[in-house]
Structure 1
């Protein structure tokens, strides 16, 4: 099981949820700043 110690998602407020696509190539985060960010794995 993967445990993230920190997530650099550039949100301006608390991150409420993190989700990965089936293959683990993209990560989506949602925050109290009312934004959703999707990042590709490097």
Structure 2
């Protein structure tokens, strides 16, 4: 049972890291888009 909990925790951390990376990339892309649009 502990192994299952550990696996779920590992998957959860991985998905959180992926989501954070995706959000950071989108934010950078959005900033670049706004910057090019304004200038």
- Name the TM-score, length of structure 1 as normaliser: 0.17
Larger Rg: 2
The structure whose residues are more often helix, as a share, is 2
